[in-house]
Amino acid sequence: MPLRFALESARWTVRALPSEGVIPPSVGTRLIPATVPGCVHTDLLDAGLIGDVNAGTNEAAATWVSLTDWEYTGTFVAPPDLFDHEEIDLVFDEGLDTLAEVWVNGIHIGIAANEFTPHRWSVGVSLKSGQNEIRVVLRSALSHVRQEAQRLGPRPVNGDWDPFIFIRKCASNFGWDWGPKVATCGIGGGVRLEAWSVARLESPRTVVLELPPADCEDAAEAKTRWDVQVHAGLVWSHRAMSDDQLELELTFEHSGDPASPPVRGRALPTPGARSVTVNLEVRSDERWWPRGYGKPVLHQLSCELRTIDASRSSKASLGSAKQRIGLRTASLRRTNADGSPAFSVQANSVDILCVGANWIPEGLWPRDRTPERVRPRLVQLAEAGMNMIRIWGGGRYEPAWFYELCDELGIAVWQDFMFTCACYPEEQPIWSLIEQEARHQIARLSGHPSILLWCGGNECVWAHANWGFKEKLPPEQTWGRAYWFEMLPRLMNELDPARPYWPNSPWSGDSTTAPNELAPGDRHTWDIDLISDRPPVPLFCSEFGQQSLPSIMTLTEALGPSALAMGAPWLQTRQRGPGGNSRWFTEPFATHDLFAPRAGESPEAAFTRWHAAGQELQARALVSHLSWLLAHRERCSGALIWQLNDAWAGPSWSLVDSAGRPKPAYFAVQQLLATIRWPVPPTSAGQSTGQSTRRSVGQ
């Protein structure tokens, strides 16, 4: 078995390096205690060297942090039994944030340039018995994107944010209309040493396909046949022998049916093979369903790699993995029986009414993104009567436990690739970084039944076509089209043929129709008065929303009670939405008679009324528009509110504020959705009318 030694408990420090940032004398080059996983902002905060970005005006005061290069150093004693194995790797599980060079005991072992991929380097020649040192130098992402914009030529991005397109890092980390500008760096995920011998599995991916009934069976009595596949890469030790024989065994255990024996299968890869595949035929009618349509039944799938050469002393297990998978099909129905356009996400060939919300990165820092903090948000979504969450393309791919929670709760996932609101360069090395990222993420997430749809990105095609971006680009400049219409469809077809792909959101389905038209694709509805207007109904509304403020308690905790007054500076500085307070509050307040100044009223009393009016406006707007879409469910198959969660205490479109407190709009939506009568799916797979297509290709 491989030996894993976690390095989070190593003694970590961080220090500033000479760079573009103006380093305060209080920081200088001193060694600061560091936490891994984490980021430099929280290390500085814990040391009392910067203020909390969520409080007061500390956001602007911390800009120097993002312009500075940093060096993390970790010291540890290597366990002696690591050296009993043939290979020793240093592994950063969830990537590095972001531009990194890594040394072990003074020996340079690798570089990193993508937050969205893990990194693994062999360190057998640099590691030693006893005391060891890891050094990670992280360059300023903010300085890098500005330099790359000059090298490759600037391209349009939405908002007043720095050109996040020139690095594979969470875009909203550079600022967004609901959050601050705090471009982080650090070791954001787990880090470990992994010692192994002979061979190891790499990037296993799971594909589940429904098979037709066998010709000789009685269809009325036969259970559904499934092809459960595991495809995995094999990496061999440099000491592996030419006659080493491996076996990969796959075991499927039925959930809730102890009378059904486990199903097992195995494969014997040839020595030196780079990959191995095991197929199981499973018979079961216990399907995974989204909320409102049935139970999200999960089954245990285990795989184990082992040697079977009795003459080798290391014969035994070389590693194992377990996951819970669901038996279900996923498709995207694009036409109705009469030939008219449709946009209907399907599970098990049944049209799913997708009602839910968009997801942004929870909180500001790596330590905010934990199961203990995130699970309550997903439970809030489910308890509101929703059944879908869209992982927005300006954030990050979530950890495995996030999707496991969605699998368990029956929450369907619309998963964006990480592109948003901009024109992306297709030059090297960015092209190769993105292909590596996509391959990793598709394989990593392939076993999660909750993911019903992959989408190329958010508002990029729309921005190019209709926001004036195309006119700002020289003809020779790339803008990302090849990612969404060529690379990603190709990789989806190769790696995850059991799931549909949609090139961008919104998109109309072809190059001759504007991306945000009502048909025949999905739509983002930001151009109407949600309360008063009754516009034509889209086929799928993947974004709509209305701003409000966090709760009074959340604002008090972040800003102090004295800041809760009309005219307070934060009301302007934290308002990042297009059109500002005028668009999101003043004008709709007047239109719907929700707030008017009162003579002689104190700024504090006026703020209390103003705050309450904003909460009422958001609740009325969301309920009004959601009711309109649900009243036309025969045409509109989905309604996703922007947004579920929040990053800090400021104006935003969230249903739940950054402290986890639901806003009045949350309860209003919950009350509305309690009246929905969900369709009852057929006991078997069922069939919907119209043509189902799993993939959109080309523009």
For the stretch 543-593, pLDDT in tens is 999 999 999 999 999 999 999 999 999 999 999 999 999 999 999 999 999
pLDDT band at 680 (very low <50, low <70, confident <90, very high): low
Identify the DSSP state of 27.
T
For residue 21, is pLDDT > 90? Answer: no
Question: How far is C-alpha 505 from the geometric centre of its chain's CA atoms?
Answer: 15
The domain spans of the chain are: 3-195, 198-325, 353-557+631-682
Write down the mean pLDDT value for the chain: 93
Nearest to 510 by CA among 698, 659, 368, 330: 698
For residue 227, is pLDDT > 80? Answer: yes
Q: What pLDDT is stored for residue 219 in this prediction?
A: 61
Sign of CA dihedral 29, 34, 39, 41: negative
Dig out the tokens for 348 from the structure.
Answer: 């098990």
β-partners of residue 279 are: 229
Q: What pLDDT is stored for residue 254 in this prediction?
A: 92
353-557+631-682 CATH pick, 3.40.630.10, 3.40.50.720, 3.20.20.80, 3.30.70.2860: 3.20.20.80
According to CATH, the topology of domain 3-195 is Jelly Rolls (2.60.120)
pLDDT band at 259 (very low <50, low <70, confident <90, very high): confident
pLDDT band at 697 (very low <50, low <70, confident <90, very high): very low
Residue 106 backbone dihedrals phi, psi, to 5 degrees: 80, -5
pLDDT band at 192 (very low <50, low <70, confident <90, very high): very high
For residue 692, is pLDDT > 50? Answer: no
Q: What pLDDT is stored for residue 544 in this prediction?
A: 98
**3-class DSSP state for residue 525?**
coil
For residue 221, is pLDDT > 70? Answer: no
Identify the DSSP state of 170.
-
For residue 313, is pLDDT > 60? Answer: no
In angstroms, the CA 528 to CA 523 distance is: 13
pLDDT band at 288 (very low <50, low <70, confident <90, very high): very high
Q: What pLDDT is stored for residue 309 in this prediction?
A: 66
Question: How far is C-alpha 88 from the geometric centre of its chain's CA atoms?
Answer: 30
198-325 CATH pick, 1.10.1060.10, 2.60.40.10, 3.40.50.10190, 3.40.30.10: 2.60.40.10
Q: What pLDDT is stored for residue 195 in this prediction?
A: 97
Q: What pLDDT is stored for residue 184 in this prediction?
A: 96
Rounded alpha-carbon distances, angstroms, from residue 579 to 107, 159, 461, 566, 588: 52, 11, 22, 19, 12
Read off the pTM: 0.95
Helix axes 371-383, 400-409, angle to 10 degrees: 30
- Matching residue, tokens 């471009």: 183
Q: Answer whether 39's CB lies under 8 Å from 366's CB.
A: yes
Q: Answer whether 356's CB lies under 8 Å from 382's CB.
A: no
